[in-house]
Structure 1
Amino acid sequence: MRYSEVAEKVIAAVGGVDNVSNAWHCMTRLRFDLKDGAKVDMAALDGVPEVIGTNVQNGELQVVVGTEVEKYYEPLADKLGLSDKAGGGEAAGGKRGWVALAMDTVSGVFGPIVPAIAGAGMIKGLMAGLAALGVISNKNDTYVVIDMLASGVFTFLPFFVAASAAKIFKTNMFMAVAIAAAMQYPTMTAAAAAKEITAFMLFGVIPVPVFNYAGTVIPIIFSVFALSHIYRWVDRALPRVLRTVFTPTFSLFIAGTLALTVIGPIGIFLGNQLAAGVAWLFAFSPILAGVIFGATRPIAIFTGLHHAETPIALQNFATQGWDMLMPMMFMANMAIAGATAAVYFKVRSKDQKTVVASAAVSGLLGITEPALFGVLSKYRRAFVAATIGSTLAATFFAVTGVRIYAYILSSIFSLPAYVGPYFPFALAGIAIAISSSFILTMFLVPAERPADESAVAPEAAALGVKGERVELVAVARGAFVPLEEVSDAVFASKTVGDGYALQPADGDVYAPVSGTVTVVFPTKHAIGLETDDGVEVLVHLGIDTVSLQGEGFEVLCAPGDRVDPSTLIARVDLDAVRRAGKDPVILVLVTNLGKVSTVNEFDDADAALQRGDSVVSVSAAV
């Protein structure tokens, strides 16, 4: 029941069922493709106890709920009426760029299967460590049986990838698995092992290259993507009465033939090139490789793109039997845990200490989302410290040549997988990651003030915050419009928030209040601010302008910037907006009304406003 209730709250906070174009999930996040991101009530999302954090990346809203994400997603998918409970795929891509779409696809494919990979990898790593220590022989039956249990996932990885990719691309899962089965049929694997022929000849003229597809991922992802289009094309082309029998027949033959003759070999080539590129970087300059992968890993996790490195790591295991990227991931997780642990000594309330301690322990165990979204996103200097610690430790690993021989969850429990020549370096790397990020956080992050010092700070007063009252000023020159009269029913009903609207006379838009920029939507049509008193303000540029994909808008601020009513935050090409058939009215809304006691509205309809005129006053709730 709890999961269903949370799903209802999340749907309501993202703007309701009608605002969701698509939804899917990875290992820890619910992911949404929304029609209008400005309708999202971030305060309501953050107010759901089960929500660890939120993030907007490439127009995609990510709601982090932890490793029980599938339990939340199932009722959410039912309520949204999604026909495929894995969601995602092409619709999820929307109008985002190809790179962003590719990253989202890889993350979406690997998110659901990571538990199986991580579980099998943990068993494999533990057994390798015990064998290296001489505790167990890798020749006895016990080792052989347990190794079968752990290695099965990696040997038949294309089957897992096929099933997950079918959900992402919205095609028949069993057809996708059938193609994976063809690629790993014993005739193919035996020919690859014997190395006696390089290709079979289909119809005597079409070469079918011989490859060992075990453990590979790129060929099957591309093949299932092709299947999804072929299946739909065949289904549309056939008369309805023939579809049940002949749609799968023709689809399997066409897609399977393409997979074996063209797509699979190209996928093998691309996978080998990616792995070779990474290997070249490590050979060319271990320091540069460590800096690149160590510095980018924390932000990759934060943006949900960290699974994009997984195919390269798996390709390394498949082709050379070891990998150098997994150790980089390990160091990033340890650095994140170290920085989070330091924050424990900076917060004062018992509740905060409990949250931070739990997040730090989760980071040590390889689950870093609670630390990143629950702690480090609020203490950005700590995030910087974690990034520096990750970079230092990863560079140390790269220089010392640390490698791992089995895919394993990057946690403190992965240490047995490093038993061997690199074990001392693994211990030293952990020490570097945790200690450097911990010390830097202690130095960079100031301690919280006691509760009795929480009165309005002098710097807040200097910025125009008068006690608990916040003035929302006119962001541009133009005519005042009562919120109830705007053309969008959601805004007019004050579902998103309360405030005012203004029909601008020019395109220069200034901040309506003193505070900090919290979010800039990728489509540039909305900017979120937060005052020092915790009042959250949304500046929404135009009605239904999200569809313009940023055309006609220039944003002049970024998240984290301090602004005040004299700060120019955006420019709008009003003529371009009107030519596109959109209303350029600007809305200034207080979105976290639960933290506001009163909103004193301006009642002079159609009044001419000058920039900086006081329009609405807000009293923050005590």
Structure 2
Amino acid sequence: MNDKEITQTLIAELGGAKNIQSFTHCATRLRFQLKDEKKANKNKIENIPSVISVVKAAGQYQVVFGPKVVDIFNEMNELIDVDNKVSVIQRRDKKNIFNALIDFVSSVFTPILYVLIGSGIIKGLLAIFTSLNWMKATSGTYTILNAAGDSLYYFLPMFLAVTCARKLKTNLFVSLAIGGSLVYPNIAALYGKTTDFLNMPIDIATFKSSVFPIIFAIFSLKYLEKIMKKTIPSAVENIFAPLISLILLVPLTIILFGPLGSILSNEIASLYMNLYGLNRMIAGAFIGFFAQAMVVFGIHWGLFPIIFSDIQKYGYDTILAVFGPSIIAQSGAAFGILMRTKNSTMKKISSSATIMGFFGISEAAIYGVTLKYKRAFLMAMIGGGLGGAIAGAAGSRATAVAVASVPSFPVYFGHGFLQFIVAYFAAFLVAAVLTYFFGFDKNIEASGEAPAKVDITSVSGNKEKGEPWEPLVIYSPVDGEVKKLADVADKVFASGSLGKGLVVKPNKTRQSVLSPVDGVVTVTYTTRHAYGITTDDGRQFLIHIGINTVDLNGEQFSDPIQKNKRIKKGEPLCIANFEEIAAKGYDSSVIVTLINSTSVTEIKSIKIGEHVSAKDELASFID
């Protein structure tokens, strides 16, 4: 099928042109607002040539094409009436209240999630060491390591002040000062006690590990700043706005938001524990069964306030324990497909997805395997439900926030720990066996519907057909910290659907984004946030600056390179203002992927966790 035929088919499977309310695109996907999503046939859309996957999130219907998205978008422009088009500058979608709430919670907790997990593992290991008498809780070693594990939880209001400020676009340092006041030593000494403010008696809530008071405070700051912007002369705004914000909101948060947050946290925790107490096995089975369906729709973030409320009130949480088996169940289903499929590409995808599940990442299995085979996803849900039932019946619990994975097992040490381990591996085994016998659809492979990446022999270049590429060393595009692609906060990139690659988190406020390779700039965007480069031997690299930064409509990006221009390693693609990108609530990670990587492509010498300078050798792509 050519691009026009692909686009015509896509429009038809979306329910026709009249069902498309608006559409736009970013560097990898078409983003639709549909009048009625029920009219869209997701299965048929995923089987259209060049479609990588379909993602429904935050009220958007997203069809992932990779770098081909511009061609399809241009065809869409020709076929859809102009009234249905939406420019990127209009892209700040209106969401319903539920989607907006989930989006907010996700934005607040995602940036600190992996730090929470790392901290939780330290706390879990210390619990094991002290219970086995390998370490005394009074020792200096314990005190130092406990500080490493507990600091984020103790100062959680300050961390949330930063993420809330970025999401709500409030003054970052004022927000941080408000969060700091809640855990200030003199205030901390008054937790649970009565004091006075302007001769009025007030009770001081416990702000350590609290969630709601600082969220209420930053929401208030957002509206207060709007009022001050209109009323305070610009010449003195920088002085008086922070003064007024702190003098009003710190007392308000301590006096009002603290008690309200404490009441809300206690009520949420009590409500969940009461429901959980009615029948722990049924509650565990229910959450375990539906957990990954919640992940697909993004609504699992709604559980995090409950999780934090439980940990704050009881010192532990049971949701994570019954949720955990559902993650590895998806890997079990991927393993079942691995054992049955004869498609070489699917074998590679399913094997990677299987392994990633043991590290707490289910998206690779969901979007790369189980949703493709449909019944496999159901088999994984059954495995997750069984695992959740076992963990629930045993009252298994987590003492800190950590997504269930083999490295995070120490977090679950204590009551019901052995049953949790049984539940975890039982979920994997049951999902694998059920998928092997009942979840594999021969018709998918027979009809060629199994997902396939671009094959190396189909790529045009200066090499002979079928020959492997020579090893290629790429440069770092920016100064920053190197991270794994699987850790990026975007499911499509993290799953490898857009090729293998890596991420550099910028550590400078403003800097040039440099080309990692020699080649020709074959893809550019009016939004200046992403660039495609094709090397002389046919490798196609995507350099994507930030996540969802298409919404900025080119703001914070300047001096973009022109399309079809030859570029060398280390030459600038554009200049990005990473400080402003982050301040506006966007992840500023610079992603580099090899779009036409194959099942045998390997990335060597990656400096994960290290700080690199632009033009440093970053990694080697080897076939």
TM-score (norm 2): 0.58
3-state DSSP of counterpart to 2:196: strand
The letter of the residue matching 1:327 is A
Deviates more, 1:127-136 or 1:292-301: 127-136
CA pair 235-280 structure 1, distance change in 2 beyond 3 A: same
CA contact (8 A) 1:415 1:426 kept: no
SS in 2 for 1:55: strand
| Residue 57 (structure 1) aligned with residue 52 (structure 2) | no
Secondary structure of the residue aligned to 2:170 is coil
Equivalent residue, structure 1, for 2:364: 370
1:135-214 alignment to 2 at 5 Å? 135-192=134-191, 195=192, 197-198=193-194, 200-205=195-200, 207-214=201-208
Corresponding residue of 2:318 = 324
Q: Which residue of 2 aligns with 1:85?
A: none
The answer to whether the 8 A contact 1:332-1:390 is kept is yes
* 2:410 paired with 1:416: yes
Question: In 2 relative to 1, CA 292–140 (structure 1 residues): closer, same or farther, beyond 3 Å?
Answer: same
Q: Percent identity?
A: 26
Matched, 1:359 2:346: no
Cα distance change of structure 1 residues 416 and 99 upon mapping to structure 2, 3 Å threshold: same
- Match of residue 124 from structure 2: 125
1:31, 1:60 within 8 Å by CA — same for their partners in 2?
A: no
Query: Is it true that 1:271 corresponds to 2:270 in the alignment?
Result: no
Compared CA separation, residues 122 and 236, structure 1 to 2 (3 A): same
Paired residues of 1:163 and 1:176 also in contact (CA < 8 A)? yes
RMSD of aligned C-alpha atoms?
Answer: 3.7
Whether the 8 Å contact between 1:223 and 1:264 is mirrored in structure 2 is: no
Q: Which residue of 2 aligns with 1:348?
A: 342
Change (3 A) 1:250 1:46: farther
The answer to whether the 8 A contact 2:359-2:405 is kept is yes
Q: What one-letter code is carried by the residue in structure 2 that aligns with 1:142?
A: T
Residues 1:450 and 1:220: Cα distance change in structure 2 (over 3 Å)? closer
CA change 1:52–1:405 in 2 (3 A) is: farther
Cα offset for 1:324?
Answer: 0.9
Q: Where does 1:448-467 land on structure 2 (aligned, <5 Å)?
A: 448=442, 454=447
Change (3 A) 1:388 1:95: same
Paired position in structure 2 for 1:257: 251
Displacement after TM superposition at 1:277 (Å): 0.9
Query: For the residues of structure 2 that align with 1:228 and 1:171, how far apart are their CA atoms?
Result: 6
TM-score (norm 1): 0.59
Query: Does the aligned pair in 2 maintain the 1:340–1:360 contact within 8 Å?
Result: yes
Supply the distance in 2 between the matched residues of 1:211 and 1:99 (Cα, whole angstroms): 29
Q: Counterpart of 2:189 in 1: which secondary structure? A: helix
User: Which whole-Å CA distance do the structure 2 matches of 1:372 and 1:225 have between them?
Assistant: 35
1:406-485 equivalent positions in 2, closer than 5 A = 406-448=400-442, 454=447
Quickly say closer, same or farther: Cα 1:301–1:161, change in 2 above 3 A.
same
Question: Measured at CA, do residues 143 and 437 of structure 1 come closer, stay the same or move farther in structure 2, by a change above 3 Å?
Answer: same
Change (3 A) 1:423 1:288: closer
1:113 aligned residue? 112
State how far apart, in whole Å, the 2-side matches of 1:280 and 1:258 are: 32
> Equivalent residue of 1:377, what SS?
helix
* 8 A Cα contact 1:132 1:419, kept in partner: no
CA gap 1:45/1:386 in 2 versus in 1, 3 angstroms: closer
| Deviation at residue 44 of structure 1 after TM alignment | 12
For each residue in 1:411-449, what CA deviation from the matched residue of structure 2 results, as whole angstroms up to 9, or x when unmatched? 022223334452321222123211221222122223536
Question: Is 1:229 paired with 2:250?
Answer: no
Aligned to 2:99: 100
Give the unaligned 5+ runs of structure 1.
1-17, 24-28, 66-79, 83-87, 457-622
* In 2, Cα distance between equivalents of 1:226 and 1:143: 39
Q: Return the offset for 1:256.
A: 2.5
CA 1:318 to 1:238, structure 2 compared with 1: closer, same or farther past 3 Å? Answer: same
What's the CA shift for 1:114?
0.6
Cα deviation per residue 1:218-255 (whole Å; 9 max; x = unaligned)?
A: 22112111111111111112222231211222222223
**CA separation of 1:331 and 1:259: change in aligned 2, threshold 3 A:** same
| Residue 392 (str. 1) matches residue 391 (str. 2) | no
Verify the 8 A CA contact 1:122 1:409 in the aligned structure 2: no
The reply on whether 1:238 has 2:232 as its aligned counterpart is yes
Larger Rg: 1
Mapped pair 1:219 → 2:241: no
Residue 302 of structure 1 aligns with an amino acid whose one-letter code is V
Counterpart amino acid of 1:141? G
Q: Distance in 1 between matches of 2:272 and 2:181?
A: 30
Indicate if the aligned counterparts of 1:20 and 1:34 stay in contact, CA closer than 8 A.
no
State how far apart, in whole Å, the 2-side matches of 1:64 and 1:414 are.
32
Q: Which residue of 1 aligns with 2:306?
A: 312
Q: In structure 2, which of residues 350, 373, 383 is the aligned counterpart of residue 379 of structure 1?
A: 373
Q: Are 2:328 and 2:362, in contact at CA under 8 Å, matched by a contact in 1?
A: no
Match of residue 69 from structure 1: none
CA-CA distance at 1:357 after TM superposition: 0.8
Match 1:280 to one of 261, 270, 274:
274
Deviations along 1:522-579, whole A, 9 cap, x unmatched? Answer: xxxxxxxxxxxxxxxxxxxxxxxxxxxxxxxxxxxxxxxxxxxxxxxxxxxxxxxxxx
The DSSP-based 3-state class of the residue aligned with 2:55 is: strand
Contact 1:129/1:417 (8 A) holds in 2: no
Contact kept, 8 Å, 2:387 with 2:426, in 1: the verdict is yes
User: Partner of 1:460 in structure 2?
Assistant: none
2:337 is paired with a residue whose SS is helix
Cα distance change, pair 160–64 in 1 and its aligned pair in 2 (3 A): farther
Change beyond 3 A, Cα 1:455–1:415: closer
Deviations for 1:386-424, whole angstroms, at most 9, x for unmatched residues?
111111111211111112222223102222333445232
Any stretches of 5+ residues in structure 2 without a counterpart? Answer: 1-21, 66-86, 450-623
Give the CA deviation at 1:37.
11
Alpha-carbon separation, structure 2, partners of 1:108 and 1:63: 22
CA shift in 2, pair 1:117/1:61, >3 Å: farther
State how far apart, in whole Å, the 1-side matches of 2:64 and 2:132 are: 39
